[in-house]
Amino acid sequence: MSTSLRRLNRLLVTFVLMAAIVGGSGIGISAAAAPAAPKGSPMSGMPEPGWPESHLPESDPKPGEPGYLESRPTAVPPPDGWSDAEFQAHDPQGYAAMLPERRRVERGLLTKVRAELTRQGIVRTTGGKLSSADAARAASVIAATTYSPYGYLKFTLVPNTTSPYARNGYLGTLYFTYGIYNAVVDAYKWYTVSWPARSGNNRPADQSKVNLGPIPAYTWDFGFMDRIWRGYEADGRVEFYPGKWRLDPWTGGPYGRSYLEVHGGTGAHTFAATSGCIRIYPAAISALKSYYDTKMANKKDPGSAHLTVRY
């Protein structure tokens, strides 16, 4: 093989590896794209160093302290996630598992949206249509509510021994789904983004084991602590980088589990095992924040800003 061909091959290999690492920020990324965890690394299932003290609010770095990171608003809206057709094509198992809950969510939302529009005097004709003026009014009315864009999250662990993202025989995925209401057709259009994720030792059977098993199956309030909204919290410490969302109940959750979050991690903590928190790649945290900031009008509503976990 010539020297130029060898150089080209090295460049191609480097590009593929870098794409796999950065791929954690992609939309609905393929599980085949990620690098496998080195044997003997912190990814192998050991508890999170410093837990739970490092997760307590009083341990958060203050301005001027090591690890402090200023949180900044999303300047550029992210691209649309997968449409339902794209989601079904790329992740049929995830789509099938999501659909029943999504239909229930949409029925509830449409009931609320229609009631609000009626209250505002916006009524459809016999044929179900709106005038252009009423359609514009409807869009303005709904924009002032928490009904659109409406977002929620889901974490799953499914048996898998082949994906480089799988740990202990299970593949974790964090989904963010959001819907945008269209007053003209009186319906929602839904989009989904997803990222590889892990939690604890990734074994659902161990969800009751504190400091070892994954986050318990439950409906958690996302970005809340003790019923108070905290939202996204930037954190430059290597265990959390670039930030986190706390989950409620913060204490006294199922099986007595407490102090659980969705967070990142860098260096030796990149996609490493946790004590139950959900961990995703740093680039995925940044991507999720962009959708959270711009595609979740209900983020401050503890009655709907949910992360559901089902095994």
Query: Among residues 196, 194, 192, 197, which one has the least CA distance to residue 86?
Result: 192
- Residue 106: band (very low, low, confident or very high) from pLDDT cuts 50, 70, 90: very high
Higher-pLDDT residue of 174, 12: 174
Q: Which own/partner contact pairs does 125-133 have at CB distance under 8 Å and 24+ positions apart?
A: 128/186, 130/183, 130/184
Is residue 155 within 8 Å of 172, Cβ to Cβ? yes
User: What confidence score (pLDDT) does residue 124 get?
Assistant: 84
Indicate if the pLDDT at residue 262 is higher than 90. yes
Is residue 153 within 8 Å of 98, Cβ to Cβ? no
pTM value surpassing 0.75: yes
Residue type, 122: I
Those residues with Cβ within 8 angstroms of residue 28's Cβ, 6 or more apart along the chain or in another chain: 81, 82, 86, 87, 90, 91, 192, 193, 194
The Cα-based distances of 283 to 15, 286, 290 in angstroms read: 17, 5, 11
Tell me how far apart the alpha carbons of residues 97 and 100 are, in angstroms, rounded to a whole number.
7
Tell me how far apart the alpha carbons of residues 219 and 22 are, in angstroms, rounded to a whole number.
30
Tell me how far apart the alpha carbons of residues 133 and 31 are, in angstroms, rounded to a whole number.
46
Give 141-193 pLDDT, tens digit per residue.
Answer: 999 999 999 999 999 999 999 999 999 999 999 999 999 999 999 999 999 99
Is residue 105 within 8 Å of 112, Cβ to Cβ? no
Q: Mean of the pLDDT values across residues 243-263?
A: 97
Is residue 164 within 8 Å of 36, Cβ to Cβ? yes
User: What confidence score (pLDDT) does residue 123 get?
Assistant: 87
Q: Where are the domains of the chain?
A: 50-309
